A and B are shown apart, each in its own frame.
Chain A
């Protein structure tokens, strides 16, 4: 069986891009990732038809060697239809999620947020220190104060988001503690 290299390369690129997108936290991006990845997989299925450029039609008088196998195309067609349905569903889910929480993030992982903010602040500090190297720390007092505000706001957010019963297993496995009140979170969101 001859396999078109172009199809395979496209399939690999699409699945890679889709795979990366699936790993993001926004549900819409995950959806785009699933669609892109699905297209890549569909191309992969299509590659099993063999040589390109032959019609998938069998009619009297045509040799079997001159026909592309139509079955993988039927499989792809099925997969495309199913992807369409799932797309509609996930879009609805992302919309509902943004209605409820103000974002379509798959999960508001507070621990992740904390780590990211810490890294951001450390980077900013290093930059400022480099900038004001000659003048000493007093020259960038305002910026430091602003950073402290952000850290404090984040801590407050963590405390609210966690709302922990103090149970380690609940924290790890998420035994559905009550969701943090939505409007407050939006007002105090440091970003």
Chain B
């Protein structure tokens, strides 16, 4: 079984090589390779999850080099769960992207660029989940970042370049800080391997340990878009193509959350910086959602809710109890799915009406009931309406907060409640403006809506189209089908609530215990 562990990283990279080899021709072959490989990865992820839950962490030392020299990949319950959720989401988004591509053969997202970059992104995300040492985590981040640079600026239009340059520079600087963190950790403990660090960091002087923790938390905080370092996110995400934004919003920030979770439980147990994390969570929760309240563009609004809801997960991590961490894990799985679904639904809306600007939309519920339902269900899920998984996640977190009983935990509890209510307000506002009220003026249902367009879009000197969306009266079936799949995935968390929370609880116990991980890696 251990031989399966590297596959989620290796398979997409191999497929990327094939895809690059094929080049811009044979679009059908691209599709078969992409979907086939991602389905295989998902199957492997599920097997890993079952196996890791049954027998404990699966470890592979690549080339049989023992730590600290070799590359170690570890699939414990948390990593396998994250892999499974991300595998399902990436597969759905790929199907959606293919539907969009088939529909308009968009020049701004050429398949020969999109496909390889997307596969590399999946591979990088898998590597960060599986990484067993800091250096490998760094490499995983970089693989993911390079792919995301390409995906974010695909087509090279002016707004995408402007958004991309912010994103690229922020990412590069955070990578440099990460390197410094690795250097300090290595200098202090003589290893970059997580399991060895977990053992050796206990003997490191408190000041140095706190320095390492602060450096790593800063880097992961930038990736997770926690409040003081979140300004890049709402600026850079909304300009990208809909599937790209969806997968970024779902996965890339959660990779940061996962890294924080891993570092806080395995490397720095005892939660000395929990007050800091609480403060960050508090600020993210409130400022993020207030930003969302002020927006009128759907994609930008969703980006701000993303920042806000990162606060929920940080709250669970800051609590540091079994309940808190279990709640954070459930919430992460829920949020990956629901945020992706919402961006996919926004993409459908854009596809049909050519805009996501709420002031220009209206009457969608009457004109396209299925589309309205596809927005409504995940939106209620995000707000945390009872039978849905958002409620379960929030309930778990709040219960853990109440069990903690500290005054800061109660303050955060209040902030969570306020953020949830404001989220409900925000999605209700979107519902009223875009879906429920009568259309402000009849928007053109067919034809090509070119905003900021210039006909000389073929590169060279002219201004290239900013937003080029070919609207259709009927949204392509494949895109709708993919979104339905995402909605159903979100609903399945409600049906599978008991196994999911049980798994999250066992993961939290495993994380807090630390010995299963350390023993599995060091072989004692």
> Which residues of A does B touch, CB under 8 Å?
1, 3, 22, 27, 30, 34, 37-38, 41-42, 44-45, 47-48, 69, 71-72, 75, 78-79, 82, 85-86, 89-90, 93, 96-97, 99-101, 106-107, 167, 169, 173-176, 178-179, 181-182
Contact = CB atoms under 8 A, between A and B. Distances in A.
B113 to A, nearest CB: 12
Contacts of B476: none
B235 A173 contact: yes
A41 B176 contact: yes
Contact of A100 (B150, B294, B464): B464
15 contacts: A41-B183, A44-B180, A47-B187, A48-B186, A78-B135, A86-B168, A89-B168, A93-B153, A99-B461, A100-B156, A100-B158, A100-B161, A106-B165, A107-B165, A176-B467
Contact of A30 (B169, B176, B192, B235): B169
Contacts of B69: 71
A78 B178 CA distance: 13
Contact of B156 (A3, A37, A44, A96): A96
Interface in B164-192: 164-166, 168-169, 172-173, 175-176, 179-180, 182-183, 186-187, 190, 192
A107 to B, nearest CB: 6
B452 interface: yes
Given A27-B165, A48-B186, A75-B186, A175 B173 contact: no
Contacts of A181: 463
Contacts of A41: 176, 179-180, 183
A45 B169 contact: no
B164 A38 contact: no
B200 interface: no
A56 to B, nearest CB: 12
Contacts of B138: 78-79
Given A169-B294, A174-B235, A176-B239, A22 B169 contact: yes
A99 B300 CA distance: 27
Contact of B466 (A78, A89, A176): A176
Nearest to A183: B461
Interface of B: 68-69, 135, 138-139, 142, 146, 149-150, 153, 156-159, 161-162, 164-166, 168-169, 172-173, 175-176, 179-180, 182-183, 186-187, 190, 192, 234-235, 238-239, 294-297, 300, 451-452, 459-461, 463-464, 466-467
Contact of A106 (B169, B186, B459): B169
A131 B45 CA distance: 77
B53 to A, nearest CB: 33
A45 B463 contact: no
Given A30-B169, A86-B146, A72 B463 contact: no
B168 A93 contact: yes
Given A48-B187, A173-B234, A176-B159, A75 B182 contact: yes
Contacts of A167: 296
Contact of B168 (A1, A79, A90, A179): A90
Given A37-B176, A90-B168, A178 B186 contact: no
Contacts of B142: 82
Nearest to B156: A96
A176 B452 CA distance: 10
A45 B179 contact: yes
A45 B452 CA distance: 47
Contact of B452 (A27, A97, A174, A179): A179
A178 B179 contact: no
A109 to B, nearest CB: 11
Contacts of B463: 100, 179, 181-182
A96 B187 CA distance: 41
Contact of A89 (B146, B166, B180, B295): B146
Contacts of B179: 38, 41-42, 44-45, 75, 79
Nearest to B467: A176
B297 A175 contact: yes
A24 to B, nearest CB: 11
Q: Which of B149, B172, B179, B295 is the most central at the interface, judged by chain A CB atoms within 10 Å of its CB?
A: B172
Contacts of A48: 183, 186-187
Contacts of A38: 176, 179
A99 B460 contact: yes
A84 B186 CA distance: 24
A30 B165 CA distance: 10
B131 to A, nearest CB: 13
Nearest to A44: B183
Contacts of B235: 173-174
Contacts of A174: 235
B464 A34 contact: no
Nearest to A168: B294
Contacts of B165: 27, 30, 93, 97, 106-107
B451 A178 contact: yes
Nearest to B294: A169
Contact of B187 (A1, A37, A99, A101): A1
A79 to B, nearest CB: 6
A175 B297 CA distance: 8
Nearest to A101: B158
Given A38-B176, A45-B179, A93 B164 contact: yes
A22 B170 CA distance: 10
B182 A85 contact: no
A177 B8 CA distance: 41
Given A48-B186, A93-B164, A173-B300, A178 B452 contact: yes
Contacts of B172: 34, 86, 90
A30 B138 CA distance: 22
B183 A72 contact: yes
A89 B239 contact: no
B273 to A, nearest CB: 23
